[in-house]
Structures are given as structure tokens and as C-alpha cells.
């Protein structure tokens, strides 16, 4: 068998396992809508930890972290990962357990249901629903397109004629991924999703570490073959790496060298395979204000509809404890190796083909697949690609399920009437919507705009969700929040978001920032900071001057105050 | 103790902004760029801080009965409905 066929067989077997898991989960279903949508509040600490982690770590955790480190340097860990470790757990702690508690008590399934009740306003759903759906769809597309790009990069040259690069065409991977996720979500519902997430999270964590070890060893061998490694006496070393730690030391020793070369060599004098292109300098020159304001992005977790639904699956509030504590550590386990792999790619220890050197930002997300393809055998390459797909699918499933749930509960059941549909019909309607959303997502992923712009859109999506964080936080902790304050906050967030998005030429300008002059110096901030602050101010100010919710509503949510 | 825990969370946020290692390319343990090692340490410290949070700042009374259970204590599987 050729390496390409070996990879396809391994990935096919992995996808089959997932299908079986989803079908098995469906056999344990109680047949109710509560079981299909919320796993009957039965998910214990371990499954909750793994499903929350798997859901928040999209394909970006493996593919994107490596790509961003390749394009921007090791600083991306602080910008994206360690901040998430603090903020995600903060959201689980401050929001997740409260919303779980109220959700279980009052029977919520979606965020819109909660806000309608908390704000005494049916129409808040009309404002929130399209915004939430509009923000989830590009996020879904990021996952689907990441899968296509990772497989294309990881099978590069294995299937000549099938695509321009000789890899599996992206449309085919995207079709298969969407179909597999559809089947296990359709049959397994939330229980199947939680199990599949757990299985996939274990797979991508284990295979991530295996990838790391393998790539370290192979690059260390390359460094020795190229005569780059010297012993303490300055003698060129010829013996192979003596273990994993030795390999790490050899390869990472090239990072500061590469950086010094970048600082000293002009662009015109660069040798492409040895010195990184000028874009690699951006991390060192990143405005500290961008770094500071980037910390608002992880607050998006507080308003992800799919996480809300996962929170409601918990067996008890205590089930959250393991997730709150372990989430930052798990982020570290996945991200540190990926970031190192990304910066190792800039050291010249592996020859990068022209697309990576001419357009590193555009091709950054293919770098992990390319390194796996170049440095591993067919068997290991197949397992590693399966790990990447696992990370991607463990987010896609929850997003598909949550959109199906929102259309069913917030629109059809809410406006059709609770009594109009039997429980079985609610399950069938949810399944119908899930099929429609998967098909729509797949078709959207084939469009030119999605293929070229979706990653830029991703960060704008996260900014949108983050800007709604003040709404959910105040809904839980402030009696004074009014429906008019909520409308003002949501509409302000949407308006400022749209305005800034337009100024950024609809995401076309990379690393677009909102600039201010402070003390005679121009500072650059992430757009999310302006949107977040505007939304917070509008929510608070309008709430202060408009009538409070009814006494019964306040008593319901704040009984002891 | 609860205030101390939230103080630690705030401290983590402040320490996260490590301008002091911004352009430092030293390697820790011979293989980990110092800014990456520092932020990996922030992740570990976050895990410890959140452990202290669940020990000393966990809110009480979160596992109350559901509305349906309150109405019918004998029914272990209440049907889901809208808000009460």
C-alpha cells in the first residue's frame, strides 16, 4: 500500500469507530427530547471536563496554534492559550455553574430561553437569535475548512492528480467530516456528542504528544546531518540524538539563532530555507496593548451557545469542579508542543516549499500537516491526521447540535406552542434542523469567500461573542439589569462590531486594530476592546434609567437579596 | 479566603502581561523559550488558583430541586418545559 492509502485506511477506521460510538450512544437513549438535547443532565465530572475541553479546543488548537506560532512566534501562547486558561475557567466558574443551576431548575435548553425569562422579554429572542446563529456559522466553517486544509497538507503528493498539491482535495475531506459528524449527532444526540468529544479529546491529546516527540526527533536528526550541532568544545556533532530531551535541546537551540538571523539579515539577503520571511518578526514587535486587549477574546466562551448547552448536561454543579481546575493545564499540554512545532518550522531545519515562504500567513494553517507529511511514515502520518480531525470534529458536533436545538426550541417550539408538538416530534424536528445545518455548512465551505476569508472571520466571530459577555454576566449578578439595558447592549455590540468590521474591509486587513493616541504615543488595540466596552456601557447606562424587571422575576433569580 | 482567591485571579491577569520577557530569547531547560516557559507557568498557576477557588469560593445551594421535582417529588425524570 502507498503511504497515502495507508493514511486513508487509518483515518477511515477512526471515523468508523466514531460512527459506532454514536450509534451505541443512541441505543442508550431514553427517547425524550431532554435526553437527545441535554443527555438528561447525566454527564459526570470526567465526561464534562473532556467534552468542555474538546469543544473549546477547535481545530485551531492543533492546526491554528502551530500555524500562528509559525507566522507570529512563541508569543501566541501568551496571547491565545495562557489567557484562555485563566478566562475559560473563570467563565465556567462564574457563569457555567449558575446557568446550569437555573437551567436545570427552570428547564432551559438554550440561551435565548434563559434571557427571555430573566429579562421578562419575549422579543429579546428575536434580537439575540439571529446574532448568535450568525456568529456560530463562521465558527463552524473554520472547523470544516481547517479539516480540509489539514488533510490536503498532510497527504500532499500522495494522490497526484486529485488536487493541485497532490493531496486529498479539501472538498472531499469536508464532505466526509460533515457526514460522519452528522451521523453520530443525528443518532447519538448530546449523549453521543459528549462521548465522541471525550474519545476525540483523548485521541488528539495523545496523538499531539506523539507528533511532538516524533517531529522533535526527526528535526534533531536533520540538524545533526546539516552539521549545525556542536558539542561544548565546538566540535561538530555526528552522533544521533540521545533521547527525547536531547532532541528537544538540539532543535530548540535553533530558535534564538533563527531570531538573531532575522534581526540582522535584510529581506533582500535572506536565503528562504534558512531565514524566515519578514512576517516572522511581527511577534517581537507586537504592540503590548494588542496583547493586553487580546485577553478579552477568550471571554467569548461565556456566550458560546454550544457551551451553554454542554453546561446544562452536567449531573450536578459539583461536576464542574474537575473542568474548572484541569482546563488550563490541558490547554498547556496541547498548546506548548504545537507552538514549539510552529517555531521549529521557521528555523530552516525543514525545507519549506515556496507557498509557505512567499505567503506564510495565508499558508500557516497547512504547516502542521506539511511537517507531519514530511517527517513521518504513512502509518504514523495517518494516526496524526486522525488526531487533527478529532480536534476539529469535537467542536463541530456540539455546534451542529446546538444550532439544531436553537432552531427547534427558540423558533419552532416557542412560536408553535409547547403543547403543539409531542416529545418525539421535538426530537425529529431537531434532527431535521441538524441535517439542514450540516448541508448548509458544507455548501458554504465550498464558496470562494469561505475558503479565503474564514480564518479572519473567525477572530471577528469570537469578538462578537466576547462583546455579549457583559450581558450574560450582568444577567446573573446584577438585579438592576433591565430588558431595555439588554437590548441596548446587544444592539450596541452589533452596531459597533459591524462598523469596525466594515472599517477592516470585512476582515480583509490582517491584524487590523483600533488605534488611539495616549501620552503622545499611538497605541493599537484589538477591536474587541472597543466593542466590549461600548456594549458594557450601553447595558449599564440604559438599565440604570429604565424600569426594573418585575418583583416576581427578581425573586425567582435573586431570592436571598 | 474567598477574597484571597479572587486576589490570586487578579494577580494572574496582571502577571500574564509579561513585558519583561517580550524580546528575551533565552531557553529554559535548554529547549523552552523563556516567554513560553513563563506562560506555561501561568497555565499551571491558573490550575492551582482554580483548585483553591473550588475549595474556598464555591457558591452554595446550586443543586436545588427542579420545578418539576418540586411539583411531583415521586417523578425522577421530570419533563422539560419552559420557564415556570
Q: Indicate whether B26 belongs to any domain.
A: yes
Contact (CB, 8 A) for B81 and B68? yes
Residues with Cβ < 8 Å from A438, sequence gap 6 or more?
A178, A179, A181, A182, A400
pLDDT of A533 strictly over 90? yes
pLDDT of A502 strictly over 60? yes
Contact (CB, 8 A) for A92 and A320? yes
Residues 439-498 of A with CB under 8 A from B: none
DSSP one-letter string for A149-164: HHHHHHTTTTSBTTBT
> Residue A234 carries which DSSP code?
S
Q: Indicate whether B7 belongs to any domain.
A: yes
Q: Indicate whether A286 belongs to any domain.
A: yes
Q: Indicate whether B74 belongs to any domain.
A: no
pLDDT of A127 strictly over 90? yes
Which pLDDT value is given to residue A276?
45
Q: What is the mean pLDDT of residues A457-473?
A: 92
Residues 343-372 of A with CB under 8 A from B: 343
Which pLDDT value is given to residue A148?
87
Q: What is the mean pLDDT of residues A431-443?
A: 92
Q: Indicate whether A255 belongs to any domain.
A: yes
Which pLDDT value is given to residue B75?
43
Residues of A in contact with B33 (CB under 8 A): 74, 252, 255-256, 343
Average pLDDT score over chain A? 86
Q: What is the mean pLDDT of residues A170-184?
A: 92
What is the spatial distance between Cα A445 and Cα A464, in angstroms, rounded to a whole number?
21
Number of domains in chain A: 1
pLDDT of A422 strictly over 80? yes
Which pLDDT value is given to residue A62?
76
pLDDT of A274 strictly over 60? no
Which pLDDT value is given to residue A172?
93
Which pLDDT value is given to residue A527?
95
Q: Indicate whether B67 belongs to any domain.
A: no
b (16+ CB within 10 A) / e for B9-44: beebbeebebeebbeebebeeebbbbbbbbbbebbe
Number of domains in chain B: 1
Which pLDDT value is given to residue A286?
65
Cross-chain residue pair A74–B53, CB shorter than 8 Å = no
A196, three cell numbers:
465522541
Contact (CB, 8 A) for A192 and A184? yes
In chain A the first and final C-alpha atoms are separated, in Å, by 70
Q: What is the mean pLDDT of residues A501-520?
A: 86
pLDDT of B27 strictly over 50? yes
Q: Indicate whether B25 belongs to any domain.
A: yes
What is the spatial distance between Cα A7 and Cα A117, in angstroms, rounded to a whole number?
50
Looking at the partner chain, which of A40, A89, A253 has a beta carbon nearest the beta carbon of B46?
A89
* Residue of chain B with shortest Cα separation from A335: B40
Q: Indicate whether B72 belongs to any domain.
A: no
Tell me the pLDDT band of B41, cut-offs 50, 70 and 90.
Answer: very high
Which pLDDT value is given to residue A360?
62
A343, three cell numbers:
517555531
* Residue of chain A with shortest Cα separation from B18: A78
Q: Which of A234-243, A249-258, A434-443, B38-47 has the lowest mean pLDDT?
A: A249-258
Contact (CB, 8 A) for A328 and A85? yes
Q: Is the model more confident about A360 or about A305?
A: A305
For A362-390, the pLDDT digits (tens) are 677 778 878 887 887 778 788 888 888 88
Tell me the pLDDT band of A451, cut-offs 50, 70 and 90.
Answer: low
- Overall size of chain B counted in residues: 84
pLDDT of A280 strictly over 70? no
Contact (CB, 8 A) for B34 and A71? no
Residues of A in contact with B84 (CB under 8 A): 106-107
Which pLDDT value is given to residue B42?
96
Q: Indicate whether A523 belongs to any domain.
A: no
Residues with Cβ < 8 Å from A425, sequence gap 6 or more?
none
Q: Indicate whether B29 belongs to any domain.
A: yes
Q: Is the model more confident about A80 or about B70?
A: A80
pLDDT of A278 strictly over 70? no
For B66-82, the pLDDT digits (tens) are 555 545 444 444 433 33
Inform me whether the C-beta atom of residue A106 falls under 8 Å from chain B C-beta atoms.
Answer: yes
Which pLDDT value is given to residue A320?
95
pLDDT of A287 strictly over 70? yes
pLDDT of A454 strictly over 50? yes
Gyration radius (Cα) of chain B, Å: 22
Percent of chain A at pLDDT exceeding 90: 45
- Could you tell me the residue range of the domain that residue B37 belongs to? 2-58
Q: What is the mean pLDDT of residues A241-255?
A: 88
Q: Indicate whether B75 belongs to any domain.
A: no
Contact (CB, 8 A) for A67 and A364? yes
Please report, for the domain that includes residue A63, its CATH number. 1.20.1730.10
- Could you tell me the residue range of the domain that residue A12 belongs to? 3-454
Which pLDDT value is given to residue A264?
56
Amino acid at each position: 500500500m502507498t503511504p497515502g492509502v495507508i493514511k486513508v485506511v487509518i483515518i477511515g477506521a477512526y471515523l468508523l469507530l466514531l460512527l459506532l460510538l454514536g450509534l451505541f450512544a443512541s441505543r442508550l437513549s431514553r427517547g425524550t427530547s431532554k435526553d437527545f438535547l441535554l443527555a438528561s443532565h447525566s454527564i459526570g465530572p470526567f465526561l464534562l471536563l473532556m467534552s468542555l475541553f474538546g469543544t473549546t479546543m477547535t481545530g485551531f488548537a492543533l492546526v491554528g496554534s502551530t500555524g500562528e506560532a509559525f507566522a507570529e512566534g512563541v508569543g501566541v501562547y501568551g496571547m491565545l492559550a495562557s489567557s484562555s486558561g485563566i478566562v475559560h475557567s473563570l467563565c465556567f466558574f462564574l457563569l457555567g455553574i449558575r446557568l446550569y443551576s437555573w437551567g436545570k431548575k427552570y428547564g432551559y435548553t438554550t440561551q435565548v430561553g434563559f434571557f427571555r425569562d430573566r429579562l421578562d422579554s419575549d422579543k429579546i429572542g428575536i434580537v439575540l437569535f439571529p446574532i448568535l446563529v450568525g456568529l456560530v456559522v463562521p465558527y463552524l466553517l473554520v472547523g470544516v475548512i481547517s479539516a480540509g486544509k489539514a488533510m490536503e497538507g498532510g497527504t500532499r503528493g500522495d494522490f497526484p492528480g486529485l488536487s493541485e498539491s497532490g493531496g486529498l482535495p479539501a472538498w472531499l475531506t469536508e464532505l466526509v467530516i460533515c457526514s460522519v459528524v452528522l451521523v453520530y449527532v443525528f443518532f447519538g444526540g448530546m449523549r453521543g456528542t459528549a462521548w465522541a468529544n471525550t474519545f476525540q479529546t483523548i485521541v488528539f491529546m495523545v496523538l499531539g504528544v506523539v507528533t511532538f516527540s516524533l517531529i522533535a526527533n526527526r528535526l534533531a536528526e536533520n540538524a545533526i546531518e546539516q552539521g549545525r550541532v556542536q558539542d561544548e568544545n565546538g566540535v561538530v556533532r555526528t552522533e544521533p540524538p540521545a533521547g527525547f530531551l536531547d532532541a528537544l535541546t538540539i532543535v530548540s537551540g535553533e530558535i534564538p539563532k533563527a531570531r538573531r538571523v532575522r534581526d540582522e539579515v535584510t529581506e533582500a539577503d535572506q536565503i528562504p530555507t534558512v531565514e524566515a520571511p519578514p512576517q516572522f518578526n511581527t511577534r517581537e514587535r507586537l504592540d503590548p496593548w494588542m496583547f493586553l486587549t487580546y485577553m478579552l477574546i477568550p471571554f467569548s466562551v461565556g456566550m458560546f451557545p454550544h457551551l451553554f448547552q454542554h453546561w446544562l448536561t452536567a449531573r450536578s454543579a459539583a461536576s464542574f469542579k474537575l473542568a474548572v481546575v484541569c482546563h488550563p493545564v490541558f490547554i498547556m499540554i496541547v498548546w506548548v508542543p504545537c507552538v514549539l512545532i510552529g517555531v521549529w518550522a521557521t528555523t530552516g531545519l525543514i525545507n519549506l516549499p515556496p507557498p509557505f515562504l512567499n505567503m506564510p500567513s495565508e499558508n500557516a494553517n497547512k504547516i502542521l500537516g506539511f511537517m507531519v507529511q514530511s517527517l513521518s511514515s504513512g502509518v504514523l502520518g495517518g494516526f496524526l491526521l486522525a488526531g487533527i480531525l478529532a480536534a476539529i470534529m469535537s467542536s463541530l458536533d456540539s455546534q451542529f447540535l446546538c444550532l439544531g436545538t436553537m432552531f427547534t426550541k427558540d423558533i419552532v417550539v416557542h412560536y408553535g406552542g409547547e403543547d403543539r408538538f409531542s416529545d418525539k416530534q421535538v426530537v425529529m424536528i431537531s434532527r431535521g434542523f441538524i441535517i439542514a445545518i450540516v448541508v448548509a455548512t458544507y455548501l458554504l465551505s465550498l464558496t470562494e469567500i469561505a475558503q479565503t476569508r474564514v480564518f479572519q472571520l473567525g477572530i471577528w466571530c469570537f469578538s462578537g461573542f466576547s462583546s455579549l459577555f457583559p450581558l450574560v454576566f450582568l444577567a446573573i449578578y446584577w438585579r438592576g439589569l433591565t430588558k431595555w439595558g439588554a437590548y441596548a447592549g446587544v444592539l450596541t455590540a452589533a452596531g459597533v462590531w459591524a462598523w469596525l468590521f466594515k472599517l477592516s474591509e470585512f476582515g480583509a486587513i490582517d491584524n487590523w486594530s483600533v488605534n488611539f493616541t495616549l501620552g503622545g504615543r499611538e497605541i493599537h488595540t484589538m477591536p474587541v476592546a472597543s466593542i466590549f466596552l461600548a456594549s458594557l456601557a450601553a447595558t449599564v447606562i440604559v438599565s440604570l434609567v429604565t424600569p426594573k424587571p418585575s418583583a416576581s422575576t427578581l425573586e425567582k433569580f435573586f431570592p436571598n437579596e | 479566603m474567598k477574597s484571597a482567591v479572587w486576589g490570586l485571579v487578579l494577580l494572574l491577569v496582571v502577571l500574564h502581561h509579561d513585558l519583561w520577557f517580550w524580546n528575551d530569547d533565552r531557553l529554559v531547560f535548554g529547549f523552552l523559550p523563556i516567554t513560553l516557559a513563563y506562560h506555561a507557568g501561568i497555565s499551571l498557576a491558573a490550575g492551582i488558583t482554580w483548585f483553591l477557588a473550588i475549595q474556598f469560593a464555591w457558591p452554595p445551594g446550586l443543586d436545588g430541586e427542579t420545578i418539576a421535582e418540586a411539583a411531583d417529588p415521586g417523578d425522577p425524570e421530570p419533563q422539560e418545559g419552559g420557564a415556570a
